[in-house]
Amino acid sequence: MSFLKQINPFENALKQFDKAAEILQLDENQIAMIKEPRRITEVNLPVQMDDGSIRIFKGFRVQHSIIRGPAKGGIRFHPEVTVEEVKALAFWMTYKCAVVGVPFGGGKGGVVCDPSKLSRTELQNLARRYFAELSDMFGPDQDVPAPDVNTNPQIMSWMFDTYSMHKKRFIPAVITGKPLELGGSEGRTEATAQGMVYCVREAVDHLGFGLKGAKVAIQGFGNAGSHAAKLLSEDGAIIVAISDISGAYYNPEGIDIDAALETCRQNEVWTLEGLEKNTRVEKMDDPMKLLELDVDILIPAALENQITEANAPNVKAKLIAECANGPVTPEADEILEKKNVFIIPDILCNAGGVTVSYLEWVQNRMGYYWTKERVNEDLERIMVKAFDEVLETSKKYQVNMRIGAFILAIGRVTKAAELRGLYA
Ligand code: GLU
């Protein structure tokens, strides 16, 4: 296991919570109601492999909170996913939904597996078994999953189908991030990146520079990172570096993002492998050095704990837009704050995904579907409002944007908990 994984993301999440709770002067009872996850479930999932053998995969679902609405959050398929990571991700979902004001609590799922090493049938069997095993937890009013790292609309379709077959009814609102053909929403695929772009536009305005000609480095080229690269380059930004598991690629003049997307499409699995053969880029010796490049905007769009006390002193970007969840550790936060780096925190920056998930859930429940323009109009309005409210809160309490976002969100969850009171 790598050094990075040894940093416990849930402990980091709680440190963020504690700072904001202290400023809000929450008492012990208020904290007890909203800090720890409500329910943690672990399952062993037997799956028949193509060679006839049976393999057991570990799966988790954590419901952090159902105070403001059904638990909401994606399902991650990753060989190194742990329950502590899923707890942190579920926690962040609670506060993410509260920051943007969508009526959900927080949840997250994980399955310990490497999907690139599974056949399509094996992947389908695993996805179905996970959903069947936990089907009592899920439901449009209980817990509504979605895609996350290494899961996609096809996997959502299998999970939706499994649930609907069990219940003997068509129930699209049990899961979001579905394909359009099965009740998915226009704009959902690019929503995380699109929401980030709305925040970045506000942030560069606030900081007094423009997106046109701004130099950008993006770590991660999955759903969030690849759409981020495309959308920002359309806004006139110069994407000088991108990376994924195959390595980091750099061109100070700007990378041809269409060539990068084409490379991913042509590879058997979605990676940038071989990009240096298709367009003018240099493959960096150390992919982590992407985070230290001399750029205006840095976008971590991969996993947690990427910017730590070890590399934060070398970060040169003026603005960090956290497309990933938890990419900056609390220790790195302090270093970056001293360096005057403006961070759009994950629970605000990447909330576009869950916001359009909410719009998808609404459309599913009324059975009427909106155009992409309509969806993006709502997304922009919600993201810009949330950005403004977080900025205002951070000014009011004289704290950075992350603590500002937590103060805003914790205030909303606490208020809802108080209004509901305790069921005997
Ligand atoms: N996995 C995404 C996130 O971390 C989306 C969750 C959702 O749409 O429920 O925010």
Is the residue at 53 inside a domain?
Answer: yes
Index of the ligand 1 atom closest to the CA of residue 104: 9
56 three-state secondary structure: strand
Which CATH number characterizes residue 28's domain?
A: 3.40.50.10860
Ligand 1 centroid to residue 371 C-alpha, Å: 21
Index of the ligand 1 atom closest to the CA of residue 73: 9
Is the residue at 212 inside a domain?
Answer: yes
pLDDT-above-90 percentage for the chain: 98
Question: Is the CB of 344 inside a 6 Å radius of any atom of ligand 1?
Answer: no
Question: Is the CB of 353 inside a 6 Å radius of any atom of ligand 1?
Answer: yes
Residues 156 and 36 in one domain: yes
Mean per-residue pLDDT for 337-345?
Answer: 98
Mean per-residue pLDDT for 53-78?
Answer: 98
pLDDT tens, residue by residue, 106-138: 999 999 999 999 999 999 999 999 999 999 999
Contacts of 320 (CB under 8 A, 6+ apart): 297, 298, 299, 300, 307, 328, 336, 341, 342, 343, 344
Of 148, 182, 216, the position where a domain reaches its end is 182
Residues 295 and 270 in one domain: yes
Residues 196 and 148 in one domain: no
Index of the ligand 1 atom closest to the CA of residue 144: 9
Q: Indicate if the pLDDT at residue 388 is higher than 80.
A: yes
Alpha carbon dihedral 346, 180, 66, 69, in 10-degree steps, equals 100
Q: Indicate if the pLDDT at residue 165 is higher than 90.
A: yes
- Model confidence, pTM: 0.96
Q: Indicate if the pLDDT at residue 173 is higher than 60.
A: yes
Question: Is the CB of 402 inside a 6 Å radius of any atom of ligand 1?
Answer: no
Question: Is the CB of 59 inside a 6 Å radius of any atom of ligand 1?
Answer: no
Ligand 1 centroid to residue 192 C-alpha, Å: 8
Q: Indicate if the pLDDT at residue 3 is higher than 70.
A: no
Residues 65 and 161 in one domain: yes
Q: Indicate if the pLDDT at residue 5 is higher than 70.
A: no
Burial of 169 (0-12, 13-18, 19+ CB in 10 A): exposed
Q: Give the model's pLDDT for residue 424.
A: 79
Ligand 1 centroid to residue 213 C-alpha, Å: 30
Is the residue at 141 inside a domain?
Answer: yes
Best residue for ligand 1 mutational test, from 95, 96, 148, 152 (most atoms within 8 Å of Cβ): 148
Index of the ligand 1 atom closest to the CA of residue 76: 1
Q: Are 221 and 150 in contact (CB under 8 A)?
A: no
User: Residue of the nearest CA to atom 8 in ligand 1?
Assistant: 354
Residues 38 and 111 in one domain: yes
Is the residue at 219 inside a domain?
Answer: yes
Mean per-residue pLDDT for 25-53?
Answer: 97
Ligand 1 centroid to residue 186 C-alpha, Å: 16
Q: Indicate if the pLDDT at residue 6 is higher than 80.
A: no
Best residue for ligand 1 mutational test, from 93, 190, 303 (most atoms within 8 Å of Cβ): 93
Is the residue at 4 inside a domain?
Answer: no
Residues 319 and 174 in one domain: no
CA angle 240, 242, 248 (to 5 degrees): 110
Of 131, 162, 182, the position where a domain reaches its end is 182
> Domain limits at 168?
17-182
Question: Is the CB of 148 inside a 6 Å radius of any atom of ligand 1?
Answer: yes
Index of the ligand 1 atom closest to the CA of residue 358: 8
Ligand 1 centroid to residue 225 C-alpha, Å: 14
Ligand 1 centroid to residue 279 C-alpha, Å: 32
In the block, residue with structure tokens 């991108």: 242
Residues noted as catalytic: 108
Worst-scoring range by mean pLDDT, 3-12, 53-62, 204-213, 262-271? Answer: 3-12
Residues 145 and 218 in one domain: no
Q: Which residues pair with 215 in a beta bridge?
A: 238
Question: Is the CB of 33 inside a 6 Å radius of any atom of ligand 1?
Answer: no
Of 303, 322, 349, the position where a domain reaches its end is 349
Is the residue at 382 inside a domain?
Answer: no
Which CATH number characterizes residue 263's domain?
A: 3.40.50.720
Mean pLDDT taken over the chain: 97
Residues 52 and 153 in one domain: yes
Residues 62 and 104 in one domain: yes
pLDDT-above-70 percentage for the chain: 99
Question: Is the CB of 124 inside a 6 Å radius of any atom of ligand 1?
Answer: no
CA 45 to chain centre: 25
Q: Give the model's pLDDT for residue 7.
A: 84
Order of strands across the sheet that contains 143-147? 39-48, 54-65, 106-111, 71-77, 143-147
Q: Which residues pair with 344 in a beta bridge?
A: 321
Is the residue at 409 inside a domain?
Answer: no
Residues 200 and 149 in one domain: no
Q: Indicate if the pLDDT at residue 363 is higher than 50.
A: yes
Count of domains observed in the chain: 2
Ligand 1 centroid to residue 146 C-alpha, Å: 6
Is the residue at 6 inside a domain?
Answer: no
Q: Indicate if the pLDDT at residue 1 is higher than 80.
A: no
Question: Is the CB of 146 inside a 6 Å radius of any atom of ligand 1?
Answer: yes
Question: Is the CB of 304 inside a 6 Å radius of any atom of ligand 1?
Answer: no
Residues 205 and 174 in one domain: no
Question: Is the CB of 187 inside a 6 Å radius of any atom of ligand 1?
Answer: no
Q: List the one residue out of 314, 284, 281, 298 whose CA is nearest residue 214.
A: 298
Residues 85 and 143 in one domain: yes
Q: Are 46 and 55 in contact (CB under 8 A)?
A: yes
